[in-house]
Amino acid sequence: MRLILLGPPGAGKGTQAEGIKKEFNIPHISTGDIFRENIKNNTKLGEKAQEYMNKGLLVPDELVVELVKDRLSKQDCSEGFLLDGFPRTIEQAKALDKELEKMNQKLNKAVNIKVSEDVLVERIVGRRICRDCKATYHVTFNPPKQEGICDKCGGELYQRDDDKEETVQKRIKVYNEQTQPLVDYYGKKGLILNINGEQEIKKVLEDVINNLKGKKNDNY
């Protein structure tokens, strides 16, 4: 199963990725992980990526594609993969298509977890993290027993800067401008699988798995 995972910030992609990975026994590959792995191992690609990052620049598409291609050539991807965070743009998607074609591979589906903007903002802005043990809470959906205090270790709970409403709105705007067009791109290829991400976590995963196994029609 060769999959791409799409969805805006706060859609729950990370949580769903874990379930998909286990169900289909495929590696969950995020660009962040690829960067860290290559930089840690001092690979040539990693050194190039580090140069851009040190200057505060975005890693160019050509290099990102090279890093992804290198990762997909590894043995654990022989039966499939789940790409998360790549592609982010139409240009990257076209580049990925070309590389997969060279590898005689094709994508099975692009799983798109759909969540309305209001729900996204509520989910992200309400998130709180423990400074000490990094446990996560939510002021509405998973509040601590005592406000501002971690249930597990008694540490202070705080809101990350990128979880503040103004930043969240910007992140969603960037997603809508850059990545949302991928839904149309993969839709025209008949590869898009739309999933209602506003359901309970277990139900979202159940819908993803059933659709991918052909037990259920995509009707969202």
Residue of 21, 69, 88, 114 marked catalytic = 88
Confidence class for position 59, pLDDT limits 50, 70, 90: confident
| pLDDT at site 193 | 96
CATH homologous superfamily of 2-116+179-212 equals P-loop containing nucleotide triphosphate hydrolases (3.40.50.300)
Residue of 131, 152, 160, 216 marked catalytic = 160
Q: What is the pLDDT of residues 188-217, one digit of tens each?
A: 999 999 999 999 989 999 999 999 998 765
In the block, residue with structure tokens 């000490």: 132
Residue of 2, 13, 123, 128 marked catalytic = 13
Residue 96's Cβ-count burial label (10 Å; 0-12, 13-18, 19+) is: buried
Q: What is the pLDDT of residues 105-130, one digit of tens each?
A: 999 999 999 999 999 999 999 999 99
Residue of 21, 69, 114, 171 marked catalytic = 171
Residue of 48, 109, 127, 128 marked catalytic = 127
For 49-92, give the DSSP string: HHHHHHTTPPPPHHHHHHHHHHHHTSGGGTT-EEEES---SHHH
Annotation says 88 is catalytic: yes
Annotation says 128 is catalytic: no
Per-domain residue ranges for the chain? 2-116+179-212
